[in-house]
Chain A
Amino acid sequence: MGELKLMKGNEAIAEAAIREGVDAYFGYPITPQSEVIEYLMMERPEERTGMAVLQAESELAAINMVYGAASVGKKVFSSSSSPGMSLYQEGISYLAGAELPCVLANIVRGGPGLGTIQPSQADYFQSVKGGGHGDYKLLTLAPASVQEMADFIELGFEIAFKYRNPVMILSDGMIGQMMEKVELKDQKPRWTAEEIKELNGTWAAIGKPEHRERNIITSLDLDSAKQEKHNHHLQSKYRQMEEEEVRYELFDTEDAEYLIVAYGSSARIAQKTIFLARQKGIKVGLLRPITLYPFPKKPLAELARQMKGILSVEMSAGQMIEDIKLSVGCDIKVEHFGRYGGIIHSPDEVLEALEQKIIGG
């Protein structure tokens, strides 16, 4: 068993990044995720592993520093929260277009605009549907615990380098701020220059030896035919992700007649709702998507066949519900429930919504 610690989600993700052997973190302070860079600065990772940590002058600069370090084949991590993540979008589009791996975390707060510093899940569309300009996708992981905040660093880098695509850890202010027991992995060494040459030398701009072709990092092609071909290539990667990377968890679904679909904090709350509902004899289960893109369409569609109705629970006005409806078609009732703008729904409120909108409705 690895080292056990009681940590905030934001601290756990930072510690996990050091232990993953990440080469650099670039970020800019924003509530409720500033503990990530504060923890890293306090830990002196440049002494622990040689990891570079830099507070940038803006989110625009931070995401472009990520782009630079990713361009030379390094493991690079950054985090922000909703208004800051909006500023990241230009850079994320470039990262996806230039096929650069990195792991980003959004500790979501309520919006729109400056919104509130309280938890929210209203950045689902931004993360799952693209966010910036152009046709691209981010593989999006949704942690539901402090443990998963730590675990998704390793998983995120594995996927990011497998597909040479940014990975988004879509968390929220509740998971970022709450403290839980977390089992930390052992320290991995950072990649050496030789390892980077071997692993990423076919594409990373690490300096051109006389007898190899230039490695160029770019998302530009003024020849539209080539740009379309590049887009086809990107789309083929997303199709592969949809085949190979779908992750989800089922809870009490074996005998369930009703289904709640919820991710992250809402999934934790829904587990309590299910406990309360089953005390009343209501047979309800939970599907928790762990990857929001690719969305667990097939398992959800199969599960829907045994259900009388589905309640989508998210701390937003209803975003994931669109993916649920696309997965299950029109033959089953699907409703949304969620508090938003920084309000967290209670298990009782979710149960009431289930009874009124799905069972009674």
Chain B
Amino acid sequence: MDIKDIVKEENLVYTKTKLMTDNILSYCPGCGHGTAHRIIMEVVDELGMQEDTIGVAPVGCSVLAYEFMNIDMIQAAHGRAPAVATGVKRTMPEKFVFTYQGDGDLAAIGTAETIHACNRGENITIFFINNGIYGMTGGQMAPTTLPGMRTSTSPYGRDLPSMGNPLKITELIAQLPGTYFVTRHAVHTPAAVRKAKRAIRKAIELQKENKGVTFVEIVSNCNSGWKMAPVKSNEWMVENMFPYYPMGDIKVDGELVEKK
């Protein structure tokens, strides 16, 4: 049955983008990954770039992104997506090449690859989903886990003297001359989704200018890992994650944004 058989064309205001496959999402209901996938693919579709796009998704909840994004994709080892994307972009510079990475992947095991790809100014786009936890493996502490936050490997809360501080990797890579556009968003409300989508579009369009890494962090919930209902997890995210990881542009046109 086609959607046109159910909804009359004049009433149709919303459909799934054709750049998402019909495979059932493996993400937990309420998780931000599905929305993030969708708006990235919407932008690729709107720009008519399906054939020009190569995606890289490493280990983490989004390791199966290739099941959902209707483009050619490469599954990468844990932490190594920026190196894999470097290998792609250096040999196919005409393509739009992106990575889609979680916080454990990008800011722990892959820190070296992240920093050096950013420092070389690879002409790639990095989408960074930060939910402060390892979702795929069952809710362990991540480099971005907040102080005092309980996870399965910090069951009494993240203890800063013994476990270290949450790593603000996005602020860190924004310091590097090889990054051109660095911004942080969320996808928990329609308004946030619209803003995030605009940032994603900008990051994708800027890659064509070959000015270095464009980097979009999306602070997201992990309702399963945080052990909260979806709505509650979004409220918790706004109250706790946003103060530590504030929304907005961090670097624009190669210049750090002045904080008021």
Contact = CB atoms under 8 A, between A and B. Distances in A.
Contacts of A207: 50-54, 71-72, 95
A76 interface: yes
Interface stretch (A90-98, A148-156, A161-169, A260-268): A90-98
A219 B63 CA distance: 11
A68 B66 contact: no
B72 A69 contact: no
B87 A66 contact: yes
Contact of B83 (A60, A208, A210): A60
Given A52-B91, A76-B87, A61 B73 contact: no
B95 A68 contact: no
Contacts, number: 129
A169 B259 CA distance: 54
A70 B88 CA distance: 8
A65 interface: yes
A54 B90 contact: yes
Contacts of A210: 50-51
Nearest to B85: A68
Contacts of A209: 50-51
B76 interface: yes
Contact of A60 (B21, B50, B54, B113): B113
A91 B77 contact: yes
Interface string A70-86: 11101010000000000
A293 interface: no
Which interface residue of A61, A64, A91 has the most chain B CB atoms within 10 A? A64
A104 B95 CA distance: 26
The B contact surface, by secondary structure, is helix
A61 B80 contact: yes
Interface string A43-75: 000000000101011101110111111111010
Contact of A94 (B51, B66, B77, B86): B77
Which interface residue of B63, B86, B89, B91 has the most chain A CB atoms within 10 A? B91
B47 interface: no
B91 A56 contact: no
Given A206-B92, A207-B52, A68 B77 contact: no
A276 interface: no
Nearest to B79: A60
A188 interface: no
Contacts of A26: 87
Which interface residue of A69, A94, A98, A209 has the most chain B CB atoms within 10 A? A69
B112 interface: yes
A175 interface: no
A286 interface: no
B44 to A, nearest CB: 11
A217 B77 contact: no
A218 interface: yes
A57 B50 contact: no
A69 B97 CA distance: 12
A316 to B, nearest CB: 29
A239 B51 CA distance: 36
B51 A208 contact: yes
B116 interface: yes
B75 interface: yes
Which interface residue of A61, A76, A214 has the most chain B CB atoms within 10 A? A61
Interface string A3-24: 0000000000000000000011
Nearest to A70: B87
Contacts of B86: 54, 61, 65, 68
B84 interface: yes
Contact of A206 (B54, B83, B87): B54
Given A60-B113, A98-B75, A67 B87 contact: yes
Given A91-B80, A98-B75, A205-B74, 7 more contacts: A67-B80, A72-B54, A72-B88, A94-B77, A205-B88, A206-B95, A210-B50
26 contacts: A26-B87, A61-B113, A61-B116, A64-B76, A64-B80, A67-B74, A67-B84, A68-B76, A68-B87, A68-B89, A70-B87, A71-B84, A71-B87, A74-B92, A94-B76, A205-B72, A205-B73, A205-B88, A206-B54, A206-B92, A214-B66, A214-B70, A214-B72, A216-B73, A218-B74, A220-B63
**Cβ-closest 8 pairs across A and B:** A68-B87, A64-B83, A65-B87, A218-B75, A205-B72, A57-B116, A68-B84, A64-B80
Interface of B: 21, 50-54, 56, 63-64, 66, 70-77, 80, 83-92, 95, 112-113, 116
